[in-house]
Amino acid sequence: MVGELVLDAQPVISLLAKEPSAKMVKQELAKRAPGSAVISAVNWCEVLCYVRRRSGAHEAARLAGLVRSLPLGIVNADVEVAGYAAALRAQYGLGLGDCFAAGLALALDAPLLSGDSDFIPLQEHGLKLLWAR
């Protein structure tokens, strides 16, 4: 797996919703070579669900095409990431999507870009955080 930055669903959603943190997310992505910023397929599912609920299936399909223009790779969950996610869920009780975002970051030894404060306790587990604010 390649990745020097892992994104949670929240920063991608902030881009789509044009939230204040979108500018910072764009700047972080602009610094990266194609594929060096990654998102777990589980978290990509969260993004697509968000879009589908708010804008419908057509917009979700358009978004899936748009991701190809971003320097963002989508990484399938594997046994290693699932192991990290399971350990984090058991210890911290986070949602499954958050566990896969953090698990991927831990597996890659890469920082996690998120604005979700639920990740703060995971720093003691070795998670590096980059705040999207």
Please state the rounded mean pLDDT for residues 35-41: 91
Q: How confident is the model at residue 2 (pLDDT cuts 50, 70, 90)?
A: low
On whether the pTM is more than 0.75, the answer is yes
Q: Is 40 helix (H, G, I), strand (E, B) or coil?
A: strand
What number of H helices and E strands is found in the chain? Answer: 6, 5
Q: For the chain, list the domains and their CATH numbers.
A: 5-131 (3.40.50.1010)
Q: CB of 28 within 8 A of CB of 63?
A: no
Instruction: Give tens-digit pLDDT for 73-128.
Output: 899 999 999 999 999 999 999 999 999 999 999 999 999 999 999 999 999 878 99
Mean pLDDT of the residues in the chain: 88
- The gap between the terminal CA atoms of the chain, to the nearest Å, is 27
